[in-house]
Amino acid sequence: MQVLARKIDVCPQIYVSSLWAVPSDYDPARGTALILAHGAGNDMNSPFLSFVHEAVAARGVLSVKFNFPYKERRAKLPDRTPLLEATWRALIASVRDEPALAPARLFLGGKSMGGRIASQVVAAGEACDGLVFLGYPLHPPRRPERLRTAHLSAVASPMLFIQGTRDALCDLVLLRGVLKGLRTPSILHVIEGGDHSFHAPKRSGRSESDIQHEITEVVAGFVSVHGER
């Protein structure tokens, strides 16, 4: 595997960092890529996102992760939605236009906010072969009435939701109801005992490594199945 560091121009005077994990046997003509974005409170170097990034690449998928502009500035508060969406579009264009690596199939996703913003650009017309949500932020903490789902009905790509049973930002009963009303194939994979960061209590008997490997296997399986279409 080769890891490439690249700066991606988002708009004049704004760029972001990205890391591209390229499998040793990657063939663009038949290849699949997955772009991953970080959550609101972390950057692309978070241990969880980094694990998924590298583990998916080890399974033959071109894996790309990146920072949003506010993390390049080392700011705490996320950028406004238009800039977050513009950053996603810049990454998608960069991967699609890369002469030596442009994949035949492209999947988008990420942790929490990063995955949600990916779904917004797809709902607005950006094409992809599937969406991967690593803890979709269905609603703010303790505010289940404020669902962040209105745009999902416009998504035509298959979607994978990986959610913990203790996630304060995702009531699973509400999520299941939302998924039933969507027009596109949607898969829910539940991490028993996991919170929004997929941490499980010690009494569960599950280590962080166990959970990370489970998540990676589910993501790799989803990308493999839907990447063959």
pLDDT digits (tens, 9 = 90+) for 24-80: 988 888 899 999 999 999 999 999 999 999 999 999 999 999 999 999 999 999 999
- Residues with Cβ within 8 Å of residue 65, at least 6 apart in sequence: 18, 19, 35, 36, 37, 38, 44, 49, 50, 53
Which residue type, as a one-letter code, is found at position 69? P
Q: What is the pLDDT of residue 225?
A: 86
Q: What is the pLDDT of residue 155?
A: 96
Determine the average pLDDT of the residues in 3-31: 93
Q: What is the pLDDT of residue 27?
A: 86
Q: What is the pLDDT of residue 227?
A: 62
Residues 105-163: tens digit of each pLDDT: 999 999 999 999 999 999 999 999 999 999 999 999 989 999 999 999 999 999 999 99
* Strand pairing category for 14-22 and 2-11: antiparallel
Determine the average pLDDT of the residues in 85-98: 97
Determine the average pLDDT of the residues in 162-169: 96
Determine the average pLDDT of the residues in 205-216: 92
Q: What b/e string do you get for 209-226 counting C-beta neighbours within 10 Å, with b at 16 or more?
A: eebbebbbebbbebbeeb
Q: What is the pLDDT of residue 109?
A: 97
Q: What is the pLDDT of residue 229?
A: 54
* The residue to which tokens 């609101």 are assigned: 40
Q: Residue 184: how many CB atoms within 10 A of its CB?
A: 15
